[in-house]
Structure formats: C-alpha cells, structure tokens
Structure 1
Amino acid sequence: MKKLLVSMLSLLLLTVLIPQFTFAAQADIKLYFNGKQLNPEVAPRKIGDYSMVPVRIISENMGAKVSWDQAKQMVTIEKADIYMQLVINKKEAVLNSKAITLEAAPVLLAGNTLIPVRFVAERLGLLVDWDDATQSVYVKTPDPSNGGTTPTPSPTPTPTPKPGVPQITSMESVGDQIIIKASGPIKSKLMYLSNPERLVIDLPGTTFGSGIMVPGAGQMGGVWTANPSISAIRYAVNDPATSTIRVVVDLKVKSGYSLIEDGSKGQVVVQLKNAKYKVVLDAGHGDQDPGAISISGKQEKDFNLTMVLKVKKILDQNPNIQVYLTRSDDTFVTLDGRCEFANNLGANVFVSIHGNKWVPSTSGSETYYWRPESLSLANIMHKNLVAAAGLPDRQVRQNDFRVVKYTNMPAVLLEVGYLSSPNDEPQMFNAAFQDRVAGGIANGIKQYLNLN
C-alpha cells in the first residue's frame, strides 16, 4: 500500500535556548493543590501575565497522563475524554483534535516543560485562583457531592432550548445500568477506552433540559452512583458545533457493556457487565483484492492473514481476551464492513495488519492512527512492533484510513514492512520472523490492556 510521507518540522536551536535566558529574572511563585503547597524540581513562575507550572505537576497531582515527544518538542496530556497536544514555544495547540490558541506558549526551563496552568487545569475540570498579594496559584477540585465521587458544577441557568432539539431530562445510575432520558428520540454513540478504563456515551444533537444541572464553563456535571465498580459519572458539552453532550463513566475495573436502548424511543440504557476484552484483528485485503504484490510475486493478503492467525493463537491463551477476526480465510470484506463488524461488537481494540509497498530503497515498520483516543494504543503497538521486527523505525503516523477513522474504539493500522524492499520482503515471509512479530503485536495489545 502506498502511503503519503509526512514531513516533520524541526525547531531551531534558538527556540530552545530563548527560555533559558528570558525567564531567569522572573520571580518564582507558589503553587497550591487542594490547599497543599507543591514544591516541584523547577518552581512555577509568572511569565508576563500568565502562571506557568511544570507539566510533571499535572501528571502527579491532577490525575492526567503526560507524555513527551523529544523530536517534536511536544507534550501530550490525556485524562478521560480530554486530549491535549502542546508544542514548546508555540501558542497553537490541539484540544480533542481541534486547533486552539493558548494564552501563553509552553516553554523549556532547565530540562522541564512549563505550561499555562489555568488553561490546562480548567479543561481537566479543576478550579484555578490567583492571589496577587502572596503571588500564589491555587488549584483545587470542585466541591464533592453525593459521597464525594463526582465534581459539583457551578449552577448555570438552563439555556433556552432550540426549537426541535431534544433535551436531556435526566441521567441516573441504577444498579448496573446507566439510564439517560430525553424529551424525544435521540442518537447515541458508545466508545470504550482503556488506560484508564472508561465508557464514553456521546449524544449528538441534544441540549440540557430543566431537570439537569448545567455545568459551568470549563467544568463538568456529575451523576451520583452507588455502583462499587464506578468511580464517577461525568457529563459536559463536548462539541458545541454539533451540540453533542458527552457522558463519561469512569470505571474502577474492566467492564463489558451492552446497549439495551439506543435512544430512538427517547431513552438510552447501557448495561454494564463483567466481560472479556474484545479484540478485533483485521487482515487487510482478501479474495479478489490481493493488496500489494511483493518483489518475488507473493501477495500481501496472504501475509496479512498469516500474521492475524498467529496473533490470535497467542492472544487466545489469555483468559481475559476474546479475539474476533474480520476474516479468517481468503474472503473479501469491505472497509465499511470491517468497521461495522468491530463497532457492532463494541470492541475494545481494533488492529489491522498490512504489508507496505513503495520504492525498493524504502524499508521499515510504520503504525497509523487517526483519532486522538487511538494515539496511546498506536505508541504502544509501534514500540512493540519495531522491537520485534527489527526493521527501520518509520514512526507513528496519522492518516485517515477508513478502518481507523470509522471504528469507534481505539484503532491502529500496522505496516509491518515493505514488500517492495529486498531487505524486508524475505524476512516477512520467514516463519521465525512472523512468529516474532506476532508475539510483539500480541504483547502490545496486552500491554495496552494492562494484561502483561
């Protein structure tokens, strides 16, 4: 398969050096989280009108996952349904796959990344105050309600409903069910995410009714729950453009789920249940679609199927995983059919396996993803793929291939190697190589699901 090459812009050395001089004269400020003063390795400081704090504080005290890409000089912050990418010395950032402009650009200082605390903290559902007299920043979680599991939103007047737009009138947790009621028929989209475990319910084309406490700006509403496997149920407007309300069910343990009522009758009912992780393995191409033809005349579809069957054999040994195949023999399944298969299953992970083709000099392994929630899976899978294959590392890349764009769960497409490469092709049809790579792919899936 031919792929477009993605070029990466490297930062000039000056952009790294500037922060070391610019901020040396800035006075340190104090940082408090829920009343406790924090003392990070590099002190927070005021840069211009904005309070900047080390990104490590976000990870250690605010319950977010933070990762650093040295090559791109980029920090990624993930928590529940929040996903942010911030680049050193750039105000342009990404929030849930949308371009935004920061109040202040992140900077490097003594090897630490400093980020604007108000912007990040408020998007994680926290409150931020500044005390000018003591030069202190106070970050705190909103007051707990109903047992302390869920933030309490600031009261906000219920918006005037738009004509014809269904209103969400109630949300409740009853036993093992999440029940959402509306004033009329609504659509629902479910997605299960791991690391941490959570169920996401999107309700596009809806608004809040009078029976719902509307969260304030930068905050989330909460639903009381007595279910011991649920740590919190949160909701907010996720996408104003499509008027989508997002409900996030934070889980303490891995859980299965089933959609009992889809909203077509004005009610969404989701049943939580104990279940295995559902992993869909997709062997690219098939039947009349051979895929790429290798330099020795072999067909990509055969390589893909062989790899999928080997990965399945390994994963079948884990009692916590149930493997499903989009095809188990030389048959043809449409791209939309593959997506529909995985979506209907409510799968937790989707992995599509392929062989690549370009010019003979191109060699190596690539991993593709599209949606932000798939990036964590892509990074883990790629690391394991490259280590097992031993081919050149051609990086994790973003591309809107249909099977990773229209699947609801975290999804990746693995290009194991290049069938057009005299270096890669002989290895790709070698049984020992295939067994090694199949083990790497299986390990990546288990690592993502915390089953290693």
Structure 2
Amino acid sequence: MKKYVLTTVMAVLMLMFLLPHMGQAASSGTKIVLDNRELANADVLTVNQTTMVPIRVVSEELGYKVGWNQAAQQVTIGSGADTVVLTINQKTATANGAIVSLTQAAMAENQTTYVPLRFVSSQMGLQVKWENTAKTVYLFTSGNPAGSQIGSTPPASSNGGANVPNAVLARVQAISFSDNRLMVTTDRSVSVKDSVLAGPNRILLELSNTGFGPAIGGNLAVGEVGTIAVPNAANVSQVRYFIPKSNPNTVQVVIDLKSANTYKLSTEGTSVFVALDKVTAPNTNVGGSGKKVIVIDAGHGNQDPGAVGNGIREKDINLGIALKVEAILKKNSKVDVVMTRSDDTFLELKERVRVAKNVNADVFISIHNNSGSAAATGTETYYQRDNSKALATTLHKYILQATGFKDRKVQYGNFHVIRETTMPAALLEVGFVSSANDAAQLRKEDFQQRVAEAIAKGLLEYLGV
C-alpha cells in the first residue's frame, strides 16, 4: 500500500503560497456542518456547481492527513487503504488505486488549494447531504442517522453498472467462496430462489430484481459470464455469475460441482450464504453454535493492484497471506471465517465493511503491505477506535516476531475499513514492497505462511479460543 511522506499542516499551508493564481470561482456563502458542528473559516467556493473547499478544511477540520507534491502539483489526502490523489487542473483523480472522473478539478485560487468537497468526503466514507435553502453542506461520519433528516443527495453521475435496468432494485457487490461456503453480498435485501440441477451437477441461485454493482460484474454485458476460481474446494470446480438474456432483471450465480452435494441456504443481513457439506447439510448460520466470527479482508484486488515494487503487486501478497490465515483458522472448531474476497476480485471499501456488519463479526482484519522510499522498511499495525487497540496490539506482537522487520509500532489510523466497522478491527501493514529486502521475503511462500500463522495466533489469543 502506497504511503506518502506527509507534511505537517503548517508545511502544507506554506507550500500553498507557491501555487499560481488560476481559474475563476465565486464565493458561495455556503456553510459546512460536520456532525452538527459548523466548521469555522471554511472559505467555500462554488465552481461549475461544485462546492470547493480549501485543503486546510480537509486537514484541520475533517482530520485527514494531507501531503503536497510541488513538482507534480498533486495533493494526497489520507494514507494506506484510504488514499485520494488529486492533481491541480486535472479532471481525474486516483481513489484507493482506481482512476475516477471529476466534475471539477482541484484548483488554486488566491494562493489557496481547493478540492471538491463531495468527492473527497464520499471517498473518505462521510455521508454528504445538501440543503439548498440554507446553502449548507452537511457531513456525517459513520452513517450518522441524522443525515437522513436533512436535504437530499443529488443523484450520482453513473449508476455503477451499465447493465443495470431501471426495474432493478438491488446490486451484487461481492461474491466469494471460502471455507466450503459461497457468499453473495448485495446492497439491499433480495429475493433468492435456489435450485439443484444435474447433468452436470450444480447449484443455481437466482436473485430477483438484481443487477451487478461496478465492483463485481459491472463490465459484463447481459449474457456474459464471470467466474471465480476455487482451487482449494474439495467438490467445487468453479463459481459462475451472469445476467441471463431471458431475464435481464435477474442475477444468476452457479456453483459447478464435481458430484452431487447437500447444502443449506441462509441469509445474514444483505449477504446470502450457501454452505456445502459432503454428507449432511451443515448449520449455515455464520457464528452458529457459539463460534467467534472472524472477517479477513485482503486489501485491493483486480483493477486495483495496491502498491507495486520489486516485481510484486501488493494485492497478490495480501490475498496469499489472507488465504493462508483462512486455512489455519478453519482447523479451529471454535471460529467461523468469512473472507471479503477469495480471489482476484475488487470490493469497494464500504462493501468490505458491509460484509463484516452483515455477519456480526467479532473481529475484522484487513491485510495490506506498504510502499515508500527504497530505504523504508518495517511492520506496522493500525487501529482507529479504542475498542480496537487491544486487537491491534496483540496481532502486532506476533506479526513482528514472524517478519523480523523493523518495528514501526501500533498506530492510530483513520482508514475507512477500521473506522466504519463497529467490531474490533485492525489494518495490518506486513512489510514494504518498495524495499528490496522486505519484497524478497514477502514473495516467499514460507514467509507468508509464517506471517499467516502469526496472524492466526494473535486472533485466537485475542478471542480467547
């Protein structure tokens, strides 16, 4: 995961004075209210109907780390799993590794850098509401329910999936297969019909009034098929998903079996589970029989490689370690493991959080690797809420022993996946892909296995199982 050398707020402000005077903007008289507290000295501008705020509002009032690259004319907001990079006068930005179009570029005006408030806030997990009469932007953290009482949110510029018909109510946001169990997560509750088919053997799920979100199947045309490889499954050859031409308002997910298999269908929040068993249908309730529920999140995926360096991609290392942790924990009858992704697919940050909330997880961990200068090295572990610090501390103790890298300590971090989850949550930065020494270790299977064993040991110690 790419990390930037972050300046202090004063240093950022000093650098702003180096920016040239550009563009035309109008003072809007707009107010910004964060969780019912009006932000002072916001200096809001309106440009092409876009609310623009000084970067100091982002750093001082919203509390995000800000970095400035003078040579590239780039502003970096956040770090780690929550990173947004905007370039002055450029109508594209990078959000968590993905390129995103902007209605209005970041700009310099009166020796101050301005960034689009709605874009930055939504990427950082804040709820944004607009009240036209009062000319007020309301920001709410952690899905503050008060946000639903104020104003209205303008429609997004894209529906997030060109193949989603108007009649569709829900979207599939994630599909994974782990621990002999299929998980399909949607953005709202759906009606699911399951069927057993023969010649060849397979299990069919049909999700009514459902389409694909952008992260999973968003580029599939009607009739085109996406697949998930399941190399470690005993009786499953693959999982397929598609929108059939015969019913374009339905998503079908197929589990291709090697032989007939009993199963049980269940739902947890907006996640649908199909649990397989060779002999008898299992109890599919996640966390059933008093089991502790652990959600493992492999950072990045698919079009978002994360940090890249020394011939490796972060997303691959993250997934490799995550799958090894899953395999270890599956041997413990007192825990239930849920993976946010089990192959090279991509989930939005909010969908990773949704999975954890759906299954009422006891703990959530997000596995990442870092990037910086060639000399940067080490292991660090992040927490955001007080109820997560003990988890982060326990995990860090064992991971540090396993890596043998420099101790970069347990730290506070304002990352979306550990901020918006409600259960104890930690984000792990195992090593630096930009370090030749760290990278040489990270690519080794035995090193990944050692780290996975350390993570599993820390989780089981923290949970007391």
**TM range, smaller chain:** 0.3 to 0.5
Give the TM-score taking structure 1 as reference length.
Answer: 0.41
The structure that has the greater radius of gyration is 1
